[in-house]
């Protein structure tokens, strides 16, 4: 499956949920597929999307969806252990696994030797193809993304 098609499938029925996406092409494709103020595009900090999602989930009643790539998750495996310990019922984590760092040249990861879904609850791994993708850069600055996101989640507390 193409990564962008997996993102379309994940977000098809999204309404009020908060969606946190990892850096790179996943955020760019999410922006292209379903941009909305309740999306937080984690730009420039690889491996942090799940940590941000966990923080929101345990400190609110918001339903949270995190979309990560295998390389990002591998950078912070400890966050998967924390996810298992905290086990927030209002968080779903999707890992789009293409076995490589597609945004930086396709260098292979070691995702083939780990079963992410056994480490953390409410985690679904979706195998995606290795295409680089061609979604344009997000035309919002990090400050703009943060400002509209904070406003969107503060105006609806659930």
pLDDT band at 67 (very low <50, low <70, confident <90, very high): very high
pLDDT reported for residue 156: 58
pLDDT reported for residue 73: 97
Straight-line distance from the first to the last Cα atom of the chain, in angstroms, rounded to the nearest whole number: 33
**Domains, the chain, ordered by start:** 3-152 (3.40.50.970)
> Cβ atoms within 10 A of the Cβ of 98, count?
25
pLDDT reported for residue 106: 85
| CB contact set of 122 (below 8 Å; sequence gap of 6+) | 87, 89, 91, 92, 93
Predicted confidence (pLDDT) per residue in 111-156, tens digit:
999 999 899 999 999 999 998 888 999 999 999 999 999 999 996 5
- CA nearest to 45, candidates 19, 69, 23, 66: 23
pLDDT band at 4 (very low <50, low <70, confident <90, very high): very high
- Please report which helix (H) or strand (E) contains residue 20, including its range: strand 18-21
Predicted confidence (pLDDT) per residue in 74-122, tens digit:
999 999 999 999 999 999 999 999 999 887 888 999 999 999 989 999 9
Beta strands in 22-158 (DSSP E): 39-41, 64-69, 91-97, 100-101, 107-108, 123-127
Of all residues in the chain, the percent with pLDDT exceeding 90 is: 87
pLDDT reported for residue 105: 80
- CA nearest to 66, candidates 52, 81, 87: 52
């Amino acid at each position: 499956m193409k990564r962008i098609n997996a993102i379309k499938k994940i977000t098809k029925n999204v309404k009020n949920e908060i969606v946190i996406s990892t850096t790179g092409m996943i955020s760019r494709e999410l922006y292209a597929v379903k941009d909305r103020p309740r999306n937080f595009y984690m730009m420039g900090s690889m491996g942090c999307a799940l940590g941000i999602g966990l923080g929101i989930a345990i400190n609110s009643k918001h339903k949270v969806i995190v979309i990560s790539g295998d390389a990002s998750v591998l950078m912070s495996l400890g966050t998967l252990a924390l996810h298992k310990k905290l086990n927030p019922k209002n968080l779903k984590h999707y890992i789009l696994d293409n076995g490589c760092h597609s945004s930086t040249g396709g260098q292979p990861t070691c995702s083939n030797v780990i079963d992410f879904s056994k480490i953390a609850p409410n985690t679904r791994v979706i195998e995606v193809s290795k295409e680089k993708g061609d979604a344009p850069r997000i035309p919002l600055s990090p400050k703009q993304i943060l400002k509209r996101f904070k406003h969107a989640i503060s105006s609806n507390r659930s």
